[in-house]
Chains A and B, each alone.
Chain A
Amino acid sequence: MSMTMTQKILADHAGLASVEAGQLIEARVDFVLGNDVTAPVAIKEFEKIGVAEVFDRRRIALVPDHFTPNKDIQSAEQCKIMRDFAKKHAIEHYFEVGRMGIEHALLPEQGLVLPGELVVGADSHTCTYGAVGAFSTGVGSTDMAAAMAAGTAWFRVPGAIRFVLNGKLGGWATGKDLILSIIGKIGVDGALYRSMEFVGPGLATLSMDERFTMANMVIEAGAKNGIFTVDERTRAWAASVSSRHYKEYAADPNAEYEQTIVVDLDRIKPQIAFPHLPSNVRPADEAEKTPIDQVVIGSCTNGRIEDLRAAAFILKGRSVAQGLRCIVIPATQQIYRQAVREGLVDTFIEAGAAVSTPTCGPCLGGHMGILAAGERAVATTNRNFVGRMGHPSSEVYLASPATAAACAIAGYIVDPSEISEAPQHGIFETASRDRD
């Protein structure tokens, strides 16, 4: 029977020759993830199961990234539950503050997720790893507990929507703008319960960082997972992070899709998602000059090195608007260090931005940049729900790092081309020192 890429990975991990949409399976998981919000609940549930050990102490990551470095006594207590558990079970991939990064940037960087693998994480943005051709999906804490005990999880096999990407992004358009425009087109439940499979000739023009950003946000369309065809770029990336063996899967040529959507990359422009849904998208050049109070550049969506290079390109030699706070958060220590080496951090500080140690922080209204009543932020994060970044009457506008940086300079919502001419697409993929 013909299967989609996702279905093939699921079948293999369930020990079945084939699966079809709607079928319930129990599948072996390659990796399990939790953070300081979800893992403490999972640990409590794990202890109720009554098994002495986790299924595999090398296949679990515990990342204290949400309220860390601890924002208060309560969050410190939550982190301590996780730290104690990691110690007791000798969890190999526990990342203490100082080595910690935002989980969905950290795991791929550390080579913990490779193509064809099956990952569950107690965080909705676990879908990020579909960028490398893995099946990965967000679950809750109880699912995480069961997976830590049994090394398995139950799934209903999803059907899929196929996105055929043609052409090439141009101007200031990035992977973020592409996924925002897709969510704007299909809606926040447009892919509910389904896979979003990204294929087509345009794929080759998207960097790994852009693919991570796109896969990260498929949950904002309700998808179970997003998955990218494995290509030369994926293979080169995998070789750069791990020497571990992995298996490549590809969709069968006659796989069934519930829908096929063709996207012309050349027509994508910088996008802004207005409050209070990620699907409430408009081109940045059609937005009114709405004044803003804060800009956040970071998160599991857009805190990677290319994102920081794009933001620095715009901020270089310019100043953050008077009365506006611009907060830049590199997603991992490795990215932070690279940004220091390349002089990006210096550029941010010189422009008047605050640079933080890795944390999810403001993205979920946790700490490090909470909004007061009625304030507006442009953020490179993933959600703009009511109260997401602070007071219930505050507002979040989602955008790419380039657009967010341009807004920080202008002090209002603006298309990045009004601040700086766009360089050639793809220029931020290679290190600036390599270019120099």
Chain B
Amino acid sequence: MQQGSKAWKYGDNVDTDVIVPARYLTTSDPAELAVHCMEDLDPDFASQVAQGDIIVAGENFGCGSSREHAPIAIKASGVSCVIAASFARIFYRNAINIGLPILECPQAAIETQHGDMLSVNFESGEIRNLTRGIQYRAAAFPPFVRDIMAAGGLIPYIRQRLLNAADHPFGVQKVEVHLDGEHEEAGTKEK
């Protein structure tokens, strides 16, 4: 549970070219990428963002290039979570895989204003707008995705699997998804 994080509000279709412009992709150093985070959309962001702040955006956040440098830059800039009405699918995967918390919640995305103070509970998907006294419930992650997050990202998850490979040696397994209806209504979309 976090207390009172500042919201940075952006619109629809925030693309990975503005999150971290390609001219900086000759490095993959997180700290260096963070310096240029959101540069072409909001030149003040990188210098003013504080540890724990939250990005709130509209539809299709992270569209465009598959560059993992985008969620890496956001994470390294100190942002604790991205809340959007929806995410572009590669960005969604990348965020999960590197352990950047993201929440899909159209209502919160619409109603939150720049500078509002938010608190987020990742377990329950609950978002509270402390400035406006409004509460939202974001879509919960399916169990398989929660397993990846619990392992600390895809790499530790795969390492556990491959190094304990006796039961599934590179094997293929079916993973059931149980999305509960209430969460689905709260804005789940299929990835």
As a 0/1 sequence over residues 6 to 45 of chain B, the CB contacts with chain A under 8 angstroms (1 = contact) are 0000000101011001110111100000000000110000
B105 to chain A, nearest CB (A): 16
| Set A78, A146, A154, A383: member contacting B144, Cβ < 8 A | A154
A145 to chain B, nearest CB (A): 7
Nearest residue (CB) in B for A72 is B26
**A189 contacts the other chain (Cβ, under 8 Å)?**
yes
Nearest residue (CB) in A for B21 is A387
A386–B40 alpha-carbon span in the complex (Å):
7
Question: In the assembled complex, which residues on chain A have CB atoms less than 8 Å from the CB atom of B21?
Answer: 365, 387, 392
Cβ–Cβ contact A366 & B22, under 8 A: yes
Q: Could you show 7 A-B contacts with beta carbons less than 8 Å apart?
A: A24-B144, A44-B28, A50-B159, A74-B27, A152-B170, A192-B86, A193-B189
Cβ–Cβ contact B26 & A78, under 8 A: yes
Binding-face segment, A15-23, A346-354, A423-431: A15-23
Cβ–Cβ contact B40 & A387, under 8 A: yes
A142 to chain B, nearest CB (A): 4
Cβ–Cβ contact B26 & A192, under 8 A: no
Cβ–Cβ contact B64 & A383, under 8 A: yes
> How many of chain B's residues have a CB under 8 angstroms from any CB in A?
54
**B142 contacts the other chain (Cβ, under 8 Å)?**
yes
Q: A38-B67, A142-B153, A222-B63 are in contact. List 14 more A-B contacts (CB 8 A).
A: A22-B179, A22-B190, A49-B159, A140-B66, A140-B71, A142-B155, A143-B154, A154-B175, A156-B190, A192-B88, A192-B89, A383-B65, A386-B40, A387-B18
Question: In the assembled complex, which residues on chain A have CB atoms less than 8 Å from the CB atom of B64?
Answer: 124, 383, 385
**B177 contacts the other chain (Cβ, under 8 Å)?**
yes
Nearest residue (CB) in B for A35 is B66
Residue from A23, A45, A67, A154 with most neighbouring chain B CB atoms (10 Å): A154
A75–B174 alpha-carbon span in the complex (Å):
40
A345 to chain B, nearest CB (A): 27
Cβ–Cβ contact B162 & A150, under 8 A: yes
Question: In the assembled complex, which residues on chain A have CB atoms less than 8 Å from the CB atom of B145?
Answer: 24
**B5 contacts the other chain (Cβ, under 8 Å)?**
no
B interface residues, Cβ below 8 angstroms from A: 13, 15, 17-18, 21-23, 25-28, 40-41, 59-60, 63-69, 71-72, 86, 88-90, 93-94, 97-98, 142, 144-145, 153-155, 158-159, 161-163, 170, 172-177, 179, 189-191
Cβ–Cβ contact A392 & B40, under 8 A: yes
A71–B172 alpha-carbon span in the complex (Å):
41
A387 to chain B, nearest CB (A): 4
Cβ–Cβ contact B89 & A193, under 8 A: yes
A276 to chain B, nearest CB (A): 9
Cβ–Cβ contact A28 & B23, under 8 A: no
| Set A44, A55, A126, A150: member contacting B161, Cβ < 8 A | A150
Cβ–Cβ contact A37 & B173, under 8 A: no
Interface of A (DSSP majority class): loop
A111–B136 alpha-carbon span in the complex (Å):
50
Nearest residue (CB) in A for B157 is A146
Cβ–Cβ contact B93 & A16, under 8 A: no
**A40 contacts the other chain (Cβ, under 8 Å)?**
yes
| Set B66, B153, B176: member contacting A123, Cβ < 8 A | B66
Cβ–Cβ contact A143 & B174, under 8 A: no
| Set A13, A140, A194: member contacting B93, Cβ < 8 A | A140
Nearest residue (CB) in A for B188 is A22
Nearest residue (CB) in B for A55 is B170
A152–B18 alpha-carbon span in the complex (Å):
31
A194–B189 alpha-carbon span in the complex (Å):
10
As a 0/1 sequence over residues 132 to 162 of chain A, the CB contacts with chain B under 8 angstroms (1 = contact) are 0000001111110110011110101011000
**A122 contacts the other chain (Cβ, under 8 Å)?**
yes
Cβ–Cβ contact B175 & A25, under 8 A: yes
Cβ–Cβ contact B17 & A140, under 8 A: no
Question: In the assembled complex, which residues on chain A have CB atoms less than 8 Å from the CB atom of B98?
Answer: 140, 142
Question: In the assembled complex, which residues on chain B have CB atoms less than 8 Å from the CB atom of A37?
Answer: 22, 25, 67, 69
| Set A71, A75, A138, A385: member contacting B18, Cβ < 8 A | A385
The verdict on A40 contacting B159 (CB below 8 Å), with A24-B144, A140-B94 known, is no
A146–B159 alpha-carbon span in the complex (Å):
9
Nearest residue (CB) in B for A279 is B13
As a 0/1 sequence over residues 150 to 183 of chain A, the CB contacts with chain B under 8 angstroms (1 = contact) are 1110101011000000000000000000000000
Residue from A123, A142, A364 with most neighbouring chain B CB atoms (10 Å): A142
**A1 contacts the other chain (Cβ, under 8 Å)?**
no
Cβ–Cβ contact B158 & A24, under 8 A: no
The verdict on A27 contacting B172 (CB below 8 Å), with A49-B155, A124-B90, A143-B97 known, is yes
**A277 contacts the other chain (Cβ, under 8 Å)?**
yes
| Set B23, B142, B162: member contacting A51, Cβ < 8 A | B162
A149–B144 alpha-carbon span in the complex (Å):
19
A360–B61 alpha-carbon span in the complex (Å):
24
